[in-house]
Amino acid sequence: MRSLLPILGFGLAALAVALGGVALVVGQDLRFIVLDNPWWLLTAIIPLLALAVRAGLTPRPPTMQFSRTRSARSLGPGLAARLAHLPDGMRLAAALLLAFALARPQSSRLTDRVEHEGIDIAIALDLSESMEADDLFPNRLEAAKEVIDQFIARRPHDRIGMVAFGAHASTVSPLTVDHGVLRQLVRRLQLGSLDGSKTAIGAGLGLALNRLKESDAATQVLVLLTDGVHNAEGIDPDSAAAEAKERGIAVYTVLIGRHASGQSVDPGRLERIAGLTGGYAYTAEDQQALVTTFQDLLDKLERSTIAGEHVRAELFFLFLWPALLLLLADVLLRSTRLRRFP
């Protein structure tokens, strides 16, 4: 039991230093710290009980006999002996700091308000072979990917999902607010990743509508980008448009590229789909027109921001980092200067 008091002393000293550092960092805001889960402080009992049990079960250290007690007194304990229990104290202080971190300290003064716009957007992108045409730089697909990337970046509060279609449709991403990952997926899209021999606009619309079934947002929007006419079997685009109308989903269509008379393109159907669902049909014959199209689309989708509840700033890291540093110092001391030998 004689080792218990030194360990507690070193532990409380290390804890006091760590808490003093926290107080210096927080400053006058210290009085605004509150614990969101104060019951987690009870976990501090565990390391204290473990320490008491260990001290009770540890046998007495071996003794060395001297022929003259005067010789033993003259030796005295060295620095390493005096600090022998420092690593255990640091470990105890780290455990107590982790208990504070688990209690989720927060600042009642530093708060933020969660904001969102309540729009879920599904994008359907054409990956048929004709998207390789270079009437947009460097080609239609790359130009479309660039404006989609910019569009996603400018809708930070919306959940956005994406599908691609050629002869059939495939999900690129479900609805997500992780726009960093979504933008990476958009950049990786390449011609040939799907069978591009046909253009299944109906399948693209149908799969995008399925992605929006995951949505409970008040406003749902579907954006269709294509450069061709529906020429594949399967879902009819008009049937998909009728479903979108029934579900209150506005479809915005974008016809990409310059198309000469007689080419395989059906702008009338795209206009009909958009008009039926309350959306709008765009035609982008060049790069600037495509950029302008998405700018106008951004304006049409602009919504007043919905302010959510105030969220208190999390401060658990102020206790977590000192705990990790104490554990690191504990490991270093046990491995070097205060290493124990049997």
pLDDT band with cut points at 50, 70 and 90 for residue 146: very high
CA distance 41 to 136: 62
What is the model's pLDDT at position 197? 94
In this structure, the number of other CB atoms found within 10 A of the CB of residue 40 comes to 16
pLDDT for position 145: 97
Question: What is the per-residue pLDDT for 306?
Answer: 46
* pLDDT for res 338: 64
Apex CA 288: angle with CA 284 and CA 292, to 5°? 70
The mean pLDDT value for 312-318 works out to: 82
The SS3 assignment for 5 reads helix
pLDDT in tens, 168-198: 999 999 999 999 999 999 999 999 999 999 9
CA distance 261 to 152: 34
Q: Is the pTM of this model over 0.75?
A: no
The pair of structure tokens assigned to 81 is: 């002996």
Say if residue 37's pLDDT is above 50. yes
